[in-house]
Amino acid sequence: MLTQHGPNSLFRLAAVFAVASIALLLAACSGLPNPGPAVGPTEATAVPAPVAVASAAQPAATATSQTSPIQSPSASPAPSATAAPSATLAPTAPPTATPTVPPTATAAPSATPTAAPSATPTKPPPTAPSAPPPAPSATPTPVSPYAGRIWDERLTQRNVVLIPAQVQPGQGYWRLVQAQWFDVNDPPFTGKHHIFVDMLDMAGKRQTGVRVRMASPDAVDIYGYVTTEAKPGESYAANFAMFTIAPAYRVEPADGTPADAVAGMGLGNIEHPDLAMMVSYGFTWQWTVVGQAVPTATPIAAGGSPGDALQIPPVGQRLVIGQRIWYAFRYAGDATPILVRMHVEPPGAAWFALWTPDDLQRWTHGEPEKPTGHGTADPMYNDDLIWSGFFTGAGVYYVVVDQTGPYAGSFSLSVSGTGVSPAGR
């Protein structure tokens, strides 16, 4: 064979083997099926190109059967064929993409826990019921049973209590409108030991013939009855004498209609509650229809306290229910007589008390009210209220006028004496 074909044939064979070996190497790397003997047919087609080169390379013909295949790869056309196999490596990309997708799906569960907690904060709105607390403020509305009445606070100190009538709107009843306590030396009942009562119609006019019952505090034992009379010029229309230490008596109208009652009265005063001290009580009832307006005291601009006491008025003055006015005058302390006189219309609608500087000082230091003198009805002065006396201490003295009747009244007041001069506003 060698002698028949010559060196050119050898060169062609070497080139064919080189191409075959490169194909085998590429097949092995890319995982393609081995081409095998199919290389044979390509020998004839690849022959023309290397003819010129073979003649130049004759000296190395025998030994280069191995080297010539290495030279042919140096021609870059063969590696360009590797571009196709490199595309076959693409299948490796899908595996990497597949693992990545599942992790992103797991992000959804993380969203669910966050949503649930955020929903729970919405429950606080039930705290809105904190608005109802204003309702308790409505509970304190229970009005004191003493509201709208003239009630001497010393009665409370003596444990006297009001027992309101149980009535319905539109119903008429006897309503207690005034309650006073008179200590041992309190005019106009100094030395008395009685329960005084009065009954008024809706216009404030005294009612006669009304029966009033005196009983034990629990109303079990009846001590007797009194009936109201006209008694012109007197503060009350009937009275009942007490002989037992408080609490021993209860009093209430007893004409068959509903009525307020008062209980706990008896002898003894605040300083000596267990002794049979001569004290008195005064109660006034007025016929009232439930729902009607009840007159109450109205404040005044001045004269409501010793600090803004007024000068003795030169003309008559008017009082409303429960009103108190302070008047002042200066006294020289020269032991000259002082005369205080007050005329009241209607009688019993007001009275006065005389306060010395010492009386005022004790009261402002927390002691009970204890003025030096009170006005007393004097027949020599047409039953006007009178106080007369003198002092050896100079200073400002006071006349305190109190409304005492169940209806408004008027008064005129005068203070005279050589040692008296104006004071107050």
pLDDT of residue 364: 85
Cross-strand pairs, 213: 225, 252
Residues 121-137 pLDDT 10s = 455 555 555 555 555 55
Tokens of 174: 């006897």
Tell me which of 3.40.50.800, 2.30.30.240, 3.40.30.10, 2.60.120.380 is the CATH number of domain 306-422: 2.60.120.380
Which pLDDT band, with edges at 50, 70 and 90, does 138 fall under?
low
| Greatest Cα pair distance in the chain | 189
Which pLDDT band, with edges at 50, 70 and 90, does 141 fall under?
low
pTM score of the predicted model: 0.44
Torsion of CA 112, 114, 116, 120, to 10 degrees: -170
Choose between 245 and 306: higher pLDDT: 245
Residues 266-319 pLDDT 10s = 999 999 999 999 999 999 999 999 887 654 433 444 688 888 889 998 877 877
Residues 382-394 pLDDT 10s = 999 999 999 999 9
Phi-psi region of 125 (alpha: psi -120 to 50; beta: other; left: phi over 0): alpha
Residue 220 has pLDDT above 60, yes or no: yes
Residue 358 has pLDDT above 60, yes or no: yes
Nearest-angstrom CA–CA distance, 399 and 327: 5
Nearest-angstrom CA–CA distance, 208 and 231: 9
Q: Where are the beta strands (DSSP E) in 100-258?
A: 150-151, 161-163, 172-182, 194-200, 211-215, 222-227, 238-241, 249-253
Residue 76 has pLDDT above 50, yes or no: no
Residue 97 has pLDDT above 90, yes or no: no
Residues 158-168 pLDDT 10s = 999 999 999 99
For the chain, what is the mean pLDDT? 76
Nearest-angstrom CA–CA distance, 369 and 219: 33
The arrangement of secondary structure in 150-289, i.e. its CATH architecture, is Sandwich (2.60)
pLDDT of residue 321: 78
Top-ranked range on mean pLDDT: pick from 138-142, 204-208, 209-213, 342-346: 209-213
> CATH 2.60.120.380 residue ranges in the chain?
306-422
Q: Where are the alpha helices (DSSP H) in 319-405?
A: 357-364
